Every structure is written in C-alpha cells, then in structure tokens.
Structure 1
Amino acid sequence: MPRRSRYTRVTGQNHWSFMFGEIAAYAFVVLVVTGCFLMWFYDPSMKRTVYGGAYSTLRGVRMSQAYASTLDLSFDVRGGLLVRQIHHWAALIFIAAVMLQLLRLFFTGAFRNPRLLNWLIWVGLLVLGMAAGVTGTVLPDDQLSGGSIGLIQGVVQSIPLIGTYLMLWLFGGDFPGEKIIPRLFEAHLLVSALMLALLALRYRLVRRHGHTRFPNRLPDLIGRRSRLVARGALFSATCGILALLGSVAQVNPIWLYGPFEPGSITAGAVPGWYMGFLDGGLRIMPNWEPTVFGHPLTLAVLVPALIVPGIFFTLLAAYPVIERRITGDLGAHDVLDRPRDTATRTALGASGVTFYGLLWAAASNDQIATHFGLSLTALTVFFRVAVIAGPLLAFTVTRRLCLGLQQREHDEAEHGVETGVIRQLANGGFEELTNSPQRPTAR
C-alpha cells in the first residue's frame, strides 16, 4: 500500500475570513461545557418560594424557583457567576461569528455547487442560535426576561385561528401560567442538540468537499501537526477571550432586575442585539388591526414578528437555488468570487444588510430621540420610510461601485496605470510611461 503523506492539502485556509466558522464552532463548545455546568444547578420551575440565599437585598422576597436557583448559582455556587457570564458571552459571540460566516459565504459565492447544503446548515445555525438565545435569556425568570415572555405571548396570540389555543397550551393557562419556563427549558435543550447535529454534519461536508480558496491563492500543503497546532491556538484564544469577558464585563445582572411580576417591566428593557431587528419592526409597524370575517387580525404584531422574518430567512436559504436558476450555472466551484466581480449579488447582499441594520437601529428609536433631542414620532416615520428606501438605495449605490471597479480594472489591464510621466522621443514626439507591459503609445 502507498505510504500516506504527512501533509494535507488545505485549500484557502490561509485567509483570515475562514476563522469565522471555526470561532463559531469553538464558541459552541464553550456553550456546551458551561451549559452542562449551569444545568446541574438550575431548577426550571415556576413554583413560588421565599428566597433565603446570600444576596441580602432580595432575602425574604417571594419568587419562582427558577429565579431563586439562578441567584443561588450566581452567589452561592463557587464559580457560578463566572460560568453564567462566560455562557452568555459565548452565545453572543457564536451568533456574531455565524452572521459573519454567512456574509463571507454570500459575498464570495461559497454557497455554489457542491456546497449548497453547507449554506443551509449555516442559515439553520443562525435561526437556531437566535431561538437558543431567546429561550436561554428567558430561563432566569427575572424582570428583564419577563419582557421577552410578554413578547412571546403577543406574537403567539397574533397567529390567526390557533393563536389563543397555542398560547394557552404554551403557558399552561392565562399569562404567565406555570408551564412557560419548563417548556422553554426543554426547547432550549432541543435547539442546542439540533445545533450540535448541524455542526457535526458541517464538519463531515468539509471533509468531503474540502475548502474553497480565493483567486490567485494556490492550495497550501500544511502538515497535520501544524494544522492541529493552529486550530488549538485559535481554540485557546477563543476560550481565553470568553473567560476574560466573563471575568471583567458584567452581563445580565439579574439581581438588579428582581423577580418577574406580571404587569411590570424594567425600564430600558431590550432583547439581545441579534433580536434587535424584531424589536425594531414591532416599534415602527403601524397599528393595523383589520377585521376579517368578524375576527380581528393583529397585523401590527403578525407582520414584523412572523411574516417579515419568515420571508427574509426563506429567501436567504433559497438564494443559491434562485441564483442557479437565473444564471444556469450548475458547475462545481472551488474558487471564490471577488465581491466586485458579481455586482448584482453584492448589491443584493448590501441591500439585505441595510434592511437588517435599519430595523436594528429602529429598536433604539426611543434612545436616539432622547439623546439627540428628536421627536419620537418623526423618528418612527423616518424609519418606516428608510426600511423601504434604504435597501433600494444601497442596492443602486453598491452595484454602481462594483461596476465602476470592474471598469477601472479593465482599463488598467488594457492601457496600464497612468503615471503622469511624459517622455520626449528622438523624432520629436511624446509618449506616456505606464506600468503596462505593452509598449507606450506615442502622442
């Protein structure tokens, strides 16, 4: 049998943007390890109890066992608060890394054949990561998470025909019920298991199809030991940064918010940054509630919370198939595109980013109005117009920039880069010196 080479052909891994996927995977490993620790001490129960732990401010206050166990985890379990904060930061960085990975795949065309399934995996990881983040932040049952529970109630009830029945089943009765925390805890574990399965499938696909590479970059021959050392260094760096953030950057201090009480909410309560687009859509959506066959239809919640995100993520998942149908490109691609070379796709990506960013900014319309002395009503109207006009403007500007860059490169390849240096010839004529390999033209 032929001897197995000590080197592995790794295509394109020497580019820094390939780290996004690895950072997401390593952050998920931290999430699993810290989550197992937290699950050992957390009690997902809404039964009422009287707190008697180490945090004296809330001692003697009635609260759910879920909130009491989270306080005990933060103040009575050795290292509990550190692990809680590392877990929270790992979730935020995981979603950020997945988003950046999706942007890289989209703008470089890395979703093309034979990597369509890899694209769908990353889209699924984004959706599941958001679901895991929402269900995870609700579990402490503090005053801040109560706002998310109220939002869940409103979104579920806005579903036509079955919304009310679904809400009663989910909450186990009238809001807030006694079942929502245990069921969201089960959903959190289920979503995490699905994410683990997707990451494992993605690893197998990478082993099968290999990595893509950027133009003008030859495949690298990297020793297995060197590759393991590089991956170990990135994993250690990811864990170290998460540990540093968990140690010095306070996040989600539930003891300052207090236990959740229906009918009240903490001032300045906002969802995680990755769910800001949902909050922004709810804030700027007009209060439309038409009556259809005698039943009110709550479009003010249904459209921004379910219809718009559903359309957005469906188009995101289906984009490779749509592009393949339009272009007729069925070939296999291992070389990535430069964004400027695919003007329409790049413009669509910029349009989508602008749409998401404007909704994300609209989630802070009250803070913007307060800090800059603006009218909240005028600001809301501005965002209503901007979320429609902004993506169109971004598409037009980005496409023109890409086409302009293409034209400039074509001109440079044909005529060379002008230097501004003019030389007189022996016959009295003049020529311009360029860096083009072609002979300068006499003028």
Structure 2
Amino acid sequence: MDERKTLPLRARDGLVKRMRTPAQPRGSWRSRSADHWSFLFGEIAVYAFVVLLVTGAFLTVFFEPSMKEVTYDGSYGPLRGVQVSEAYRSTLDLSFEVRGGLLMRQVHHWAALVFIAAITLQLLRMFFTGAYRRPRGLNWLIWIGLLVLGMAAGVTGTILPDDMLSGGSLGLVQGVTQSIPLVGTDLTGLVFGGEFPGDDIIPRSYWLHILALPGATIGLFALRGRLISRHGHTRFRTPAPRLGTFQTARMAAPRATSVAMFLATCGVLTLLGTFVQINAIWQFGPYKPGDITAGAVPGWYMGFLDGAIRIMPGWELDVAGHPLTLAVLVPALIVPGAFFTVLAAYPALERRLTGDHNVHHYLDRPRDAATRTGVGAAGITFYGLLWAAAANDQIAYNFHLSLFAVTWFFRIAVFLGPVLAFVVTQRICLFLTNREKHEAEHGRETGRILMSAEGGFSEIHEPVRRELTAIGSD
C-alpha cells in the first residue's frame, strides 16, 4: 500500500512537496540548492545595484546640482581661484574635504560599471542557453530594460560633475539630439533649457539620475521576482553532482552562500574603489564650452556608440530643404535602435521561424542550438568591432599604422566579421554535437589498442554514461 494514501491530507501534501523532483518546473528548493556558475551574474547585478543605492545616498548629501559659477577656494591648489560651477566644486569637496568621500565616489563609479557588465553577461547567458523561451519572454525584456536603464544612469552620472569628460558627454548628447530630423533643434533647446550647454541640464540629469532611473530599476527587479515565483527557475541538465561538491554545500545553506556572494561583491568593489583610481575630475578640469580633452573616452558600455560614429562616413543629405546628417543619425540612433529592437524581438522571431511554441523549463547547451549560438557570436562580433573602433586612433598610433587604413578596416570588418563568426561558430557547434552522437553510439576512444588472436588490431572504446539532473537558477 502507498504510504502517502494512509496519511491525512495535509501531511500527504507536505510529503509530496518534500519529495518533489528536480524535473518539476515549479518550486525553488532544488533550483536554489545547486547553482551553475553562470547563474551568478544576475545576483552580482542585484548586489552591485544595492551598493549603488547606498553610495549614491551618501553622495547625494554633499553634491550640489547647480551650474551657477563660483570661485574655487578649496584645498586642491592647482584649481584654487578658478571659476567653476557649483556642481564641480561640490564634487571636488567630496573628493578632498569629506571624510571617505573619494572612496564613496570611486566605489559608486566601479559599481556602475560592474552593474552593467553583470547585466550584459546575464543577457548573454540567457541568450545562449535559450532562457528567454516561453514562459520567460517577459523576463528577457526585463533584463534588456535594466541594461538600457543602466546605460542611461551611467550617462547622466557622468554629466553631473561638470568636468571636461562631462562636457564630452554633453557634446555627444547635443550632436545626437540635433541630428533627429525636423525636431532636432527644438528638442535640443528643450533638453538643455536654451543655448548649449544652458543652465538646466545638470539639475535635470540629477533628478533623473537619483529618482527616475533607480525607481524604474527597482520596479523591474520587483517584477522579475514576481515572475520567478510564478514560473519557477530554469535548469540545466548536467551530470549528477557528487556528495561533497559545491552543489551539496549550496543545498545545506542557500541563504548563507547568497550572503557570502553579496559580501564578496561589496569587498571587490571596495578594493577597486580603494586601489584603482577612476574619474579623477581634478585632473580633467572644469568644463568650458569649446575646450577639448585629449585622450577622453566614454564608459566601456558606450564605446560601441563612439566607435560607430568614428567609422561612419561624413554623409549629409538635403531632404526638402532640411539637412539630414547621416554621419551622426545612423551610428548614434539607427544602429543602436535597430540593435536593441532586434534583441528584444528575438524570442518572437525565433518562435516564428522555428515554430517552437512549447513551454521550456530546461536550458540548452550552446552547442545543441548551433544556429542560435552562431547568431549570438555574430552579435558579439558586431558589438566588439564597434567597441574596438572607438580606439582607432590609439590603434593607429601604437602600431604605427595609418588612421585612414584602420578606419577602413573597421568599416569593412563590421559587415564581414559577423558573417564569418556565425559560420565558424555554427560549424564548431555541429562538430561537437556530431562527435557526441558518435561517442554515444560507438563509445569514447581510449587510445588503447587490442590485438586479437588472429593478429588484427582494434581500439578499445568505453561506453559513455551520462546521468542527468537539473541544476537550477533564477
């Protein structure tokens, strides 16, 4: 007789809940107990965002979001007596006058870079494993939204100190806004509150940076949590873990390992903020319209935009008496707009092309989806080439090459490179899957040769035995 049938209803339900197998999609006891290393990117993004909130709250107390000009009389000698904005002076005071201010500034900056990097890696993991398939398509869009919000927060945060790097970002915003057909000039005046750079851009960026963007980010994280509780966690089919491994320890104390990961993230960011200098605004000086800073580069997450602008030919058209600056419009608006649109629509495109409308709770290995992996490699190559093109002048200078030749190389490579990456990656994936099928049928080659009684030679093959279980994640 079945033991569960003899128990009361509540006890029987509790036993069934405890006996739930990893193959069941809902429930988190098993999925949280054994995390694949690639699933930690999402956790790192959350923990880096927490660091951003804490350090940002500290910086907000001392920062003055005003473009009113004052005379600097602080402790940094080379700038004493120079006319600067209140935003720049308050940032200098944060760095040199406030106890722990420079550490908080640098930790905040590093946390922003790590936050965007973790989101990017999380999206790559979801793409290559097919984690965006039904019923988790909205989760895919949430991570894309988090990436866009993180990039917007990074740009607005760069503008706030009103140093020379801030001026470079403002110039880019002005150029991109003015390139929009028909409404570009009026929109620029609306954004800057008058003539560039105006007096309102830093206060507006400030409230956008500390309220609107963090609020939207918190909302997306909350929605992601609800979706996880509704749909459960995705899982890898991997060889069953042995006792004593990391997975077993994770089963024993899932919360303890999460706390350890949070403390490790905080520790790494603190070490970076302590020993690796970043955004030293006193070396750049205050922003003055018309001045430029040699060697100024954007944050790594905006490098693709800078590279696209650098390699775009200086085309300009006249449409019905209105100038159309393609040299800025195409690389700064059309290319990134098309890239993120395709990225967001890819799950729907894949369902339409493959006809796969099934619900998926298990993840694919990248090699098992050769076409998807090839598409991902092509996208990475396209992004990477644009990112590298942002350093075309440095490449030409350090390798003693012609800047003209380097620029044309990138112009050609952004078209041919993704195609080559797709073909090579797809072939590699197909080779690996075919080899596994061969090993499953004939066994794995051991390299040991056996001579038969008749004098013939043959290689010994050992059978391939795979016991699969589910390794879960959210």
For residue 257 of structure 1, what is the aligned residue in structure 2? 284
SS of the residue 1:251 aligns to: coil
Q: For structure 2, list consecutive stretches of 5 or more residues without a partner in the other structure.
A: 1-9, 19-27, 242-246, 466-474
SS of the residue 1:297 aligns to: strand
SS of the residue 1:53 aligns to: coil
Match of residue 398, structure 2, among 371, 382, 399: 371
Cα RMSD, aligned residues only: 2.0
Describe how 1:243-282 pairs up with structure 2 within 5 A.
Answer: 243-282=270-309
SS of the residue 1:176 aligns to: coil
Cα separation, partners in 2 of 1:41 and 1:356, compared to 1, 3 Å: same
Q: Does the aligned pair in 2 maintain the 1:12–1:213 contact within 8 Å?
A: no
Q: What is the TM-score when the length of structure 1 is the normalising length?
A: 0.95
Cα separation, partners in 2 of 1:271 and 1:62, compared to 1, 3 Å: same
Match of residue 289, structure 1, among 308, 316, 320: 316
For residue 203 of structure 2, what is the aligned residue in structure 1? 182
- Which structure is higher in RCO with an 8 Å CA cutoff and minimum separation 6? 2
Describe how 1:7-18 pairs up with structure 2 within 5 A.
Answer: 8-10=29-31, 13-18=34-39
Q: Does the aligned pair in 1 maintain the 2:34–2:250 contact within 8 Å?
A: no
For residue 415 of structure 2, what is the aligned residue in structure 1? 388
Identify the range of structure 1 (427-436 vs 5-14) with the bigger mean alpha-carbon deviation: 5-14
Matched, 1:409 2:436: yes
Counterpart amino acid of residue 392 in structure 1:
V
Equivalenced residues, count: 438
For residue 212 of structure 1, what is the aligned residue in structure 2? 234
For 1:425 and 1:211, the matched residues in 2 are separated by: 52
Q: Does the aligned pair in 2 maintain the 1:215–1:335 contact within 8 Å?
A: yes
Q: Does the aligned pair in 1 maintain the 2:33–2:250 contact within 8 Å?
A: no
Deviation (angstroms), 1:342: 0.4
Deviation (angstroms), 1:49: 0.9
Counterpart amino acid of residue 242 in structure 1:
L
Q: Does the aligned pair in 2 maintain the 1:8–1:223 contact within 8 Å?
A: no
Matched, 1:70 2:97: no
For residue 338 of structure 2, what is the aligned residue in structure 1? 311
Describe how 1:16-415 pairs up with structure 2 within 5 A.
Answer: 16-189=37-210, 190-216=212-238, 226-415=253-442
Deviation (angstroms), 1:352: 0.2
For 1:105 and 1:82, the matched residues in 2 are separated by: 34
Q: Does the aligned pair in 2 maintain the 1:11–1:212 contact within 8 Å?
A: no
Q: Deviations over 1:56-104 (max 9, x none)?
A: 2211111111111111111111111110000000000000100100000
Deviation (angstroms), 1:432: 3.3
Counterpart amino acid of residue 416 in structure 1:
G
Q: Does the aligned pair in 1 maintain the 2:30–2:251 contact within 8 Å?
A: no
SS of the residue 1:290 aligns to: strand
For 2:82 and 2:317, the matched residues in 1 are separated by: 44
Counterpart amino acid of residue 75 in structure 1:
F
Q: Deviations over 1:235-270 (max 9, x none)?
A: 000001111111111000001111100001111011
Q: Does the aligned pair in 1 maintain the 2:444–2:464 contact within 8 Å?
A: no
Cα separation, partners in 2 of 1:222 and 1:116, compared to 1, 3 Å: farther
Q: Does the aligned pair in 2 maintain the 1:75–1:81 contact within 8 Å?
A: yes
For residue 441 of structure 1, what is the aligned residue in structure 2? none
Deviation (angstroms), 1:208: 2.2
For 1:28 and 1:396, the matched residues in 2 are separated by: 37
Q: Does the aligned pair in 2 maintain the 1:343–1:398 contact within 8 Å?
A: yes
Percent identity between the two aligned chains: 64
For 1:308 and 1:224, the matched residues in 2 are separated by: 45
Counterpart amino acid of residue 14 in structure 1:
D
Q: Does the aligned pair in 2 maintain the 1:8–1:221 contact within 8 Å?
A: no
Deviation (angstroms), 1:397: 0.6
Q: For structure 1, list consecutive stretches of 5 or more residues without a partner in the other structure.
A: 439-443
Cα separation, partners in 2 of 1:383 and 1:186, compared to 1, 3 Å: same
Deviation (angstroms), 1:24: 0.3
Identify the range of structure 1 (139-148 vs 402-411) with the bigger mean alpha-carbon deviation: 402-411
For 1:13 and 1:325, the matched residues in 2 are separated by: 33
Q: Does the aligned pair in 2 maintain the 1:12–1:212 contact within 8 Å?
A: no
For residue 23 of structure 2, what is the aligned residue in structure 1? none
Counterpart amino acid of residue 194 in structure 1:
A
For 1:316 and 1:117, the matched residues in 2 are separated by: 13
SS of the residue 2:316 aligns to: coil
For 1:187 and 1:227, the matched residues in 2 are separated by: 36
